[in-house]
C-alpha cells in the first residue's frame, strides 16, 4: 500500500478533509506565518523564562530556528509564545502547522508544542518519556489538562502498527498539525505531516459527548515550552517554523471603533516627538484580534513641515500616559497628553511627512501591514502611539484620530 493510500484510510479523519469534513480544496488564508531566516522575530514572539532559573534561548543562524534550553538539575520553564492570539471564525476550521524538534524523552523534562496559553489550548506534550496530545480547558474556573497518551490515541498510535505505518520519532524534525472546529463543541484533530501527507493520530470528539464547551476560548497563540522539574539533566526544544490558517477563507467580522483628540496638542519649539493619541488593549482581553485601520491628523497652525509616526511600544518620558476605556471597545486610550510627555525609541511601523493644514488619512491594514496588537507572556499589552514631530516653525497645534477594527 502506498504512502498516499495509507493517508486516505478513514477518509473523514484524513488530511484530504478539513476539520468540518469538507474537502480540502480551498486555499487556506494565513492569519500568521513565521520563519526565522534572519532573527528571532522579536516583534512577533515573546521569549522568556516564566519560572525557576537556568533557562536559555539561542538563535541558530544557520538552521533558521531558536533553541529553548533548561539547565542541569535546575527547576525552570522557558516559553516562546506568539504575541498575537489568532481569531477563530465560527463555521471555518482553523489549521495550525508547527515544525520543531521536540527531543528524546527524558524523565523530569516536559516539552510542549501547539496552540495554547496558561488556561486553554491544544498541544503535543512529551512529559518525561510519555508522548501525549492534550486539550487544556478552563471551563470549570480551574485549569484541566485532558492528556491522552500515545498508547490510547484513537486514529493512529504512530508506533509503526497503525494505518500510516509511521513510527513517530520526536528527536527528529517534524511538522505537527492541529486542526479544529470550535463553535464551543466541535472536534479537534492532532497529527503530523510526513513527506507532504497529513496523518492524524487522535481526535477529540466533543459534540454530543460533553455537557459544556470543550475549552473557554478558541482564540489562542502559538507556543513552545520546555520545563525541568529540577531533577533532570539539561535538555532542549528546537522551534523552527509555523503557520496559522483559516480554512475556507477569512472575513474580518467584528466592529470598527474610533478615538479622536478634541483637546489640542501644542508642541514645544523643538523637534521632540510628542504623543497625540495612544491606544492599548485592556488587560485580560488578549483573545480579541485588534488591528489599526487608519489615522487622521491635522496641524492647525503654520508649520511648514512635520513628521507623523505610528510607534509600537515607545519609551515614554515626562508625565505618564493616562488611559481610559473606550465605550463598547476592548481598547483604552490616552487622548489628553500634553507637551509634558514625549516619546523615544520603540518601533516605527508607519509614518509620513506633511505640511500645515494638510489632512493626512493613512490606511494601515491589509494593503500596508498585517500588524495586530499583541501581548507579552507577562500580560503587558502592546501600545500604539500616533505621534507628531515639528520640523519647521515654532510651537504647533495638532488634532488627530485613530480608527481600529476588533474581531472576536
Task: Report the distance separating Cα 278 and Cα 406, nearest Å.
Answer: 17
Compare 321 and 14 and report the one with higher pLDDT: 321
384's grid cell: 500604539
pLDDT at residue 39, rounded to an integer: 96
pLDDT at residue 23, rounded to an integer: 60
Confidence of residue 371 (pLDDT cuts 50, 70, 90): confident
Q: Of the given ranges (156-165, 225-234, 262-271), which has the lowest mean pLDDT? A: 262-271
Confidence of residue 396 (pLDDT cuts 50, 70, 90): confident
Q: Check pLDDT > 50 for residue 170.
A: yes
Q: Check pLDDT > 50 for residue 22.
A: yes
What is the average per-residue pLDDT within 231-241?
A: 98
pLDDT at residue 297, rounded to an integer: 86
Structural contact between residues 113 and 126, judged by C-beta atoms closer than 8 angstroms: no
pLDDT at residue 357, rounded to an integer: 60
Residue 161's region, left for phi above 0, alpha for psi from -120 to 50, else beta, is alpha
Q: Check pLDDT > 50 for residue 95.
A: yes
pLDDT at residue 56, rounded to an integer: 98
Q: Check pLDDT > 60 for residue 361.
A: no
Domains in the chain (CATH in brackets) are 3-246 (2.60.120.200), 255-407 (2.60.120)
pLDDT at residue 2, rounded to an integer: 46
> Could you tell me what percent of the chain has a pLDDT over 70?
88
Task: Report the distance separating Cα 237 and Cα 34, nearest Å.
Answer: 17
What is the average per-residue pLDDT within 321-342?
A: 96
Q: Check pLDDT > 50 for residue 364.
A: no
What single DSSP character describes residue 7? H
Q: Check pLDDT > 50 for residue 377.
A: yes
Average pLDDT of the chain to the nearest whole number: 89
Q: Check pLDDT > 70 for residue 359.
A: no
Structural contact between residues 180 and 191, judged by C-beta atoms closer than 8 angstroms: no
What single DSSP character describes residue 3? H
| Residue in 257, 298, 292, 258 with CA at minimum distance from that of residue 276 | 298
Residues in the chain: 408
Confidence of residue 218 (pLDDT cuts 50, 70, 90): very high
Strand partners, 333: 279, 324
pLDDT at residue 290, rounded to an integer: 92
| Residue in 118, 145, 123, 144 with CA at minimum distance from that of residue 133 | 123
pLDDT at residue 4, rounded to an integer: 45
Give pLDDT tens digits for 182-195: 999 999 999 999 99
Confidence of residue 104 (pLDDT cuts 50, 70, 90): very high
Coil, helix or strand at residue 242: strand
pLDDT at residue 393, rounded to an integer: 75
* Residue 76 burial (CB count, 10 A): 20
Amino acid at each position: 500500500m502506498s504512502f498516499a493510500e495509507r493517508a486516505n484510510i478513514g477518509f473523514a479523519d484524513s488530511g484530504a478533509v478539513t476539520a468540518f469534513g469538507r474537502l480540502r480544496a480551498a486555499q487556506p488564508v494565513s492569519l500568521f506565518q513565521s520563519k526565522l531566516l534572519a532573527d528571532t522575530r522579536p516583534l512577533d514572539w515573546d521569549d522568556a523564562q516564566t519560572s525557576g532559573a537556568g533557562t536559555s534561548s539561542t538563535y541558530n543562524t544557520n538552521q533558521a530556528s531558536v533553541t529553548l534550553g533548561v539547565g542541569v538539575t535546575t527547576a525552570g520553564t522557558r516559553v516562546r509564545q506568539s504575541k498575537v492570539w489568532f481569531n477563530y471564525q465560527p463555521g471555518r476550521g482553523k489549521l495550525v502547522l508547527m515544525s520543531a524538534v521536540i527531543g528524546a524523552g527524558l524523565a523530569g523534562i516536559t516539552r510542549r508544542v501547539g496552540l495554547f496559553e496558561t488556561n486553554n489550548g491544544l498541544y503535543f506534550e512529551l512529559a518525561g518519556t510519555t508522548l501525549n496530545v492534550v486539550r487544556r480547558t478552563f471551563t470549570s474556573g480551574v485549569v484541566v489538562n485532558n492528556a491522552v497518551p500515545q498508547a490510547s490515541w484513537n486514529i493512529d498510535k504512530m508506533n509503526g502498527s497503525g494505518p500510516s505505518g509511521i513510527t513517530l520519532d520526536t528527536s527528529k524534525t517534524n511538522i505537527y498539525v492541529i486542526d479544529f472546529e470550535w463553535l464551543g463543541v466541535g472536534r479537534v484533530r492532532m497529527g503530523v505531516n510526513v513527506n507532504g501527507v497529513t496523518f492524524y493520530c487522535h481526535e477529540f470528539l466533543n459534540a454530543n459527548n460533553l455537557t459544556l464547551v470543550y475549552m473557554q476560548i478558541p482564540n489562542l497563540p502559538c507556543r513552545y515550552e520546555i520545563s525541568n522539574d529540577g531533577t533532570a539533566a539539561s535538555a532542549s526544544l528546537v522551534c523552527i517554523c509555523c503557520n496559522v490558517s483559516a480554512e475556507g477563507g477569512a472575513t474580518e467580522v467584528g466592529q470598527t471603533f474610533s478615538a479622536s483628540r478634541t483637546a489640542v496638542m501644542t508642541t514645544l519649539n523643538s523637534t521632540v516627538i510628542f504623543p497625540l493619541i495612544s491606544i492599548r488593549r485592556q488587560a485580560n482581553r488578549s483573545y480579541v484580534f485588534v488591528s489599526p485601520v487608519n489615522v487622521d491628523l491635522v496641524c492647525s497652525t503654520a508649520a511648514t513641515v512635520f513628521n507623523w509616526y505610528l510607534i509600537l511600544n515607545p519609551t515614554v518620558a515626562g508625565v505618564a500616559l493616562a488611559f481610559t476605556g473606550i465605550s463598547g471597545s476592548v481598547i483604552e486610550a490616552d487622548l489628553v497628553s500634553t507637551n509634558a510627555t514625549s516619546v523615544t525609541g520603540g518601533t516605527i511601523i508607519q509614518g509620513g511627512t506633511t505640511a500645515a493644514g494638510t489632512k493626512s488619512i493613512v490606511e494601515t491594514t491589509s494593503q500596508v501591514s498585517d500588524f495586530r496588537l499583541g501581548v507579552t507572556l507577562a500580560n503587558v499589552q502592546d501600545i500604539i502611539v500616533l505621534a507628531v514631530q515639528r520640523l519647521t516653525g515654532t510651537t504647533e497645534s495638532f488634532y488627530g484620530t485613530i480608527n481600529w477594527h476588533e474581531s472576536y
